[in-house]
Amino acid sequence: KEQGKGAIALHGKMIDAPIVARAERTIAMAQALGMENSHFVSPDGYDTDEQYVTSDDVLMLAMKAKQYPIINMIVSTQKKDVQFLSGETITWTNTNQFMDSESIYYNPHVRGMKTGSTVNAGTCLLTNYNDGDYDLIIFVAGCTTDESRYIQTATLITWALQ
């Protein structure tokens, strides 16, 4: 569950940027995108008393992100082998169950966008569904289990397609 946050923290160490500087860049980017109803103090998504993100702003960011082919390629990747300069190879596996063909939630029309969970936000799921006729972005938050985020998202997809 911490893969994305760990990657952000690692990236920060690689570029030797203090957390305040990275938070300031996050704030500037959010403001440039028009995300006016959220407040960031940390770029990694961990809960803090002063940090919050609204559903409207998450959806705004998702719509903007979908405009970039590289982002669509990344969020559509189920599994990727990565080799480090040291020669070590790891396999990164997307945790979005809609993209796992072995999962009961598998849906071939889903491009994962973001899974996540924090104590304050519960389990969350940002999903892009595209079957060629419909292109939907769905965000659920505050779920109490991993399973409930997939059930709620599947229900919303079904409802939207009716």
Render 59-126 in DSSP notation, one character per residue. Answer: HHHHHHHTT-HHHHHHHT-SEEEEE-TTS-EEEEE---GGG-TTSTT--TTEEEEEEEEETTTEEEEE
pLDDT at 9: 44
Cα(107)–Cα(99) distance, integer angstroms:
6
Q: Are 106 and 85 in contact (CB under 8 A)?
A: no
Kindly report the number of other CB atoms within 10 A of residue 129's CB atom.
Answer: 20
Q: Tell me the pLDDT tens digit for each residue of 22-57.
A: 667 777 777 788 878 877 776 666 777 777 778 888
What six digits make up the tokens of 19?
Answer: 């957390």
State pTM to two decimals: 0.79
The answer to whether 114 touches 4, Cβ cutoff 8 Å, is: yes
Say if residues 153 and 125 touch (Cβ distance below 8 Å).
yes
Of 64, 74, 67, nearest in space to 99 by CA: 74
pLDDT value at position 43?
Answer: 66
**Residue 135, C-beta contacts closer than 8 angstroms, at least 6 positions apart:** 128, 129
Tokens of 90: 């790891």
- Residues (pLDDT < 70) of the chain are 1-20, 22-23, 42-45
